[in-house]
A = this chain, B = another copy of it.
């Protein structure tokens, strides 16, 4: 526990479908915003991390951390890509955090980026399927909606969760996303509209799914000493960082409804931060499909296993509820450029804790949490953030 680490700068692009911007444009735009926000220059940066899921499949480009350093004018510094499917951003954040904690660096920039719309939807589906078990799931025809549909069906059978509960997640997140100027879908939807949307993999319908998106998000992290030196009085502290894995294939798990990796990662993060689920004022969770948010709030301990649907129905996870979830609009409405998502979640947490979340501000937010999932749950990263260093 050598050093405390804080977030001193954030930058994000709008999420959406950008045919006029490429991968390097997006990450550079977010990076420059983050550097400006932090009030630092390129020469101040010790290391760079980039979370990106599958640029090889999306833009024929691997080795992207060096690319980003190059285009950001940071050539020379160590630049490292981290990948864990849709949790790539969350894991990159954790490596950046560990780097500073190790005492090696004082300022580390960590970005997440994906450019998903330059390929056809079918190619994107194949690329995203790389997050599942190729030999045991994908080869046999499973896509991600299909895998989450299995979880949703089981959740409905075991706990009486209804399709309407899932629809309520989508409706809430669109309501929040309508207040987020960077969200891909800035409009509200209704339960009726979700229920009548096209079936994808029953019970999952089109409006239960997060979209395919382009976008990038960047954080500037700094050591406690450097934050003091720079006199950053709005630094947001990383109080806890947890990560865990689970079997890659869904069929190998004891339960389809309990995300063990999220349980483990969150308990690690809570313990490190010295908090309990009750202390969390708001959370950004990984709602790649609406059922995923229901399972997330259960795994994080915001409610008991099986009660996620009811908790959503009660309004507790609304912006003005007891435990606001996905104030940014979540993956569902804000968009889900997979590598960027984990970093975008941390940005929402930072804005909330700085009191800069504008129309979606959670009143008196002191402690926030992010929950970033890879695949169907084989990877989970949970971070706890605080306005004050404990």
By the criterion CB–CB under 8 Å, are B104 and A62 in contact? Answer: no
By the criterion CB–CB under 8 Å, are B131 and A62 in contact? Answer: yes
How many identical subunits does the complex contain?
2
Query: Is the CB of A63 closer than 8 A to any CB of chain B?
Result: yes
- In chain A, positions 229-246 with a C-beta closer than 8 Å to chain B are 243-246
Looking at chain A's contact residues, the main secondary structure is mixed
- For the complex formed, measure the closest distance between the CB of A63 and the CB atoms of chain B, giving whole angstroms: 4
Q: Tell me, in angstroms, the Cα distance from A85 to B94 when the chains sit together.
A: 21
By the criterion CB–CB under 8 Å, are B103 and A104 in contact? Answer: no
Range of interface residues on A (Cβ < 8 Å) = 35 or more
Query: Is the CB of A76 closer than 8 A to any CB of chain B?
Result: yes
By the criterion CB–CB under 8 Å, are B247 and A70 in contact? Answer: yes
By the criterion CB–CB under 8 Å, are B245 and A65 in contact? Answer: yes
| Residues in B neighbouring A135, C-beta threshold 8 A | 22, 24
Query: Is the CB of A57 closer than 8 A to any CB of chain B?
Result: yes
Query: Is the CB of A120 closer than 8 A to any CB of chain B?
Result: no
By the criterion CB–CB under 8 Å, are B75 and A63 in contact? Answer: no
Query: Is the CB of A379 closer than 8 A to any CB of chain B?
Result: yes
Q: Tell me, in angstroms, the Cα distance from A252 to B70 when the chains sit together.
A: 10
Q: Tell me, in angstroms, the Cα distance from A132 to B63 when the chains sit together.
A: 8
Query: Is the CB of A186 closer than 8 A to any CB of chain B?
Result: no
Query: Is the CB of A307 closer than 8 A to any CB of chain B?
Result: no
Other CB < 8 Å A-B pairs besides A61-B133, A79-B379, A101-B102, 16 of them? A1-B103, A2-B2, A56-B130, A57-B57, A59-B134, A61-B130, A63-B84, A63-B132, A66-B246, A67-B248, A70-B378, A77-B245, A81-B84, A82-B83, A83-B83, A99-B102
Q: Please, could you name 30 A-B residue pairs with CB atoms under 8 Å apart, sorted by A? A: A2-B2, A2-B103, A54-B62, A56-B56, A57-B62, A60-B130, A62-B131, A63-B379, A64-B83, A65-B83, A67-B133, A67-B378, A69-B245, A70-B246, A70-B247, A75-B246, A76-B264, A77-B244, A78-B243, A79-B84, A80-B95, A80-B243, A82-B82, A82-B83, A83-B83, A95-B98, A98-B104, A99-B102, A101-B104, A102-B103
